A and B are shown apart, each in its own frame.
Chain A
């Protein structure tokens, strides 16, 4: 009888121990839930001082494997159209890049295969081959300036980056390094960011969390 009690007690406790492992966060995510949308902006920028914008005609595919390119898949076409419409909805007028727009929009897909790299903030890929050369916007030889945004995440897979450039205040510095400032950045990260069906909700999210991004004042 005593033996039985010991046995029963132990089996009960062993069962409890075995069933009490940790809740595994990565197994508890849908594709939609795995994605994060990060936006950063230049606090010194007054977004109502800009009226016109232009957008790239394809999407840069940036990788660290050396096979970078500019692409225009159906995903890229939809991304360009959706971002364009979102800026128009915020009061900005789309013009050709030859019509000296106030703002320029760069679109990039990032496909790096790092496993764990701590990143100082968005914009780190601006020096990569494959990123938009400022010659595209009529500023050959200029460099990008990304304000020191905070960086939170290490980086290990596909992402989409939308960079908003301030062409209006692109005044050459005498003898110095000419730079175009990126005044807004949105990054889409997680599973399914390269899936066309997710574009609408992802772009809606980054504009919703950026109410200051408007030609007519904060939304």
Chain B
């Protein structure tokens, strides 16, 4: 929670400094829609090791000037692994089961971005930082029987990407970025939530 507070203060600072600057070639408000692929790392990889091709991310950003923008985004990612029948020892016995391990995350995060080049560039690289909360839906299936848990967790996500306008002053841009997601999520054998995520999509300046 403390990190969120610091983050909100930082955002307010950016707002204050840059509120006056308005020399822009595109409308300041943009929408962004991405398709996401994520690779689990660390203990999450031990839980469900498969790269997830089931994800998306959507949000909006407001440009305070040519370089700085801030906004909000939501996403979705589904992690899954099926483990063949095995015997899992317990305290007073054992369970033989085929396990299906699933984890779905829905992050809702504040975003801030800094663009390295001017808006008329052919390629606009940027860095971003996202922080917020993520809904974690954990379901471990033992055969057809499920053991589940739902919770909200803090999540922080640095991001590195490029925007490629479809023309010099086009409001439509191709977007590609990679992000690292971290959450201090603990559930079963998961001690931390760590993923590397690649996103491709479009960013459209609407007004």
- Residue positions of A touching B, CB distance < 8 A: 2, 5-6, 9-10, 13, 16-17, 20-23, 25-26, 28-29, 33-43, 147, 149-150, 152-154, 185, 189-191, 205-206, 208-210
Contacts of A36 in B (CB 8 A): 95-97, 142-143, 145
Contacts of B170 in A (CB 8 A): 2, 5
B82 within 8 A of A: yes
With A25-B141, A34-B144, A147-B92 given, can you name 16 additional A-B contacts, CB distance below 8 Å? A9-B174, A13-B56, A20-B56, A20-B78, A21-B54, A23-B80, A25-B82, A25-B102, A29-B98, A29-B141, A37-B95, A150-B92, A152-B142, A206-B96, A209-B87, A209-B94
CB pair A38–B144 under 8 Å, yes or no, is: no
Q: Mark B35-79, 1 if CB is under 8 A from A, else 0.
A: 100000000000000000111100000000000000000001010
Given contacts A25-B100, A28-B100, A35-B143, contact A40 B92 (CB under 8 A): yes
Contacts of B145 in A (CB 8 A): 36, 153-154, 189-190
B189 within 8 A of A: no
CB pair A13–B201 under 8 Å, yes or no, is: yes
Of all A-B residue pairs in the complex, the 10 with the closest CB atoms, nearest first, are A40-B93, A16-B35, A36-B143, A9-B202, A34-B144, A37-B96, A25-B100, A33-B98, A36-B97, A209-B94
Within 8 A of A (CB), among B102-124: 102, 104
B188 within 8 A of A: no
Q: Mark B137-174, 1 if CB is under 8 A from A, else 0.
A: 00101111111000000000000000000110010101
Q: Could you tell me the distance between the alpha carbons of A9 and B166 in the complex, rounded to whole angstroms?
A: 11
The B interface, classified by DSSP as helix, strand, loop or mixed, is strand
From A5, A149, A152, name the one whose CB has the most chain B CB atoms within 10 angstroms: A5
Query: Nearest chain-A residue to B33 (Cβ)?
Result: A13
Q: Could you tell me the distance between the alpha carbons of A21 and B52 in the complex, rounded to whole angstroms?
A: 11
Q: Could you tell me the distance between the alpha carbons of A38 and B76 in the complex, rounded to whole angstroms?
A: 35
CB pair A22–B54 under 8 Å, yes or no, is: yes
Interface size on B, residues (CB 8 A): 41
Query: How far is the CB of A23 from the nearest CB of chain B, in Å?
Result: 4
Contacts of B82 in A (CB 8 A): 25, 28
Query: How far is the CB of A167 from the nearest CB of chain B, in Å?
Result: 21
Query: How far is the CB of B74 from the nearest CB of chain A, in Å?
Result: 12
Q: Could you tell me the distance between the alpha carbons of A83 and B104 in the complex, rounded to whole angstroms?
A: 42
Q: Could you tell me the distance between the alpha carbons of A37 and B104 in the complex, rounded to whole angstroms?
A: 27
Query: How far is the CB of A120 from the nearest CB of chain B, in Å?
Result: 13
B85 within 8 A of A: yes
CB pair A20–B92 under 8 Å, yes or no, is: no
Contacts of B16 in A (CB 8 A): none
Query: Nearest chain-B residue to A121 (Cβ)?
Result: B92
Contacts of A40 in B (CB 8 A): 90, 92-93
**Selected A-B contacts with CB under 8 Å, 28 pairs:** A9-B172, A9-B202, A9-B204, A10-B202, A13-B34, A13-B201, A13-B202, A17-B35, A17-B56, A20-B56, A20-B76, A25-B139, A25-B141, A26-B141, A33-B85, A34-B143, A36-B95, A36-B96, A36-B143, A38-B96, A40-B92, A40-B93, A149-B93, A150-B91, A154-B145, A189-B143, A206-B96, A210-B94
Query: How far is the CB of B42 from the nearest CB of chain A, in Å?
Result: 21
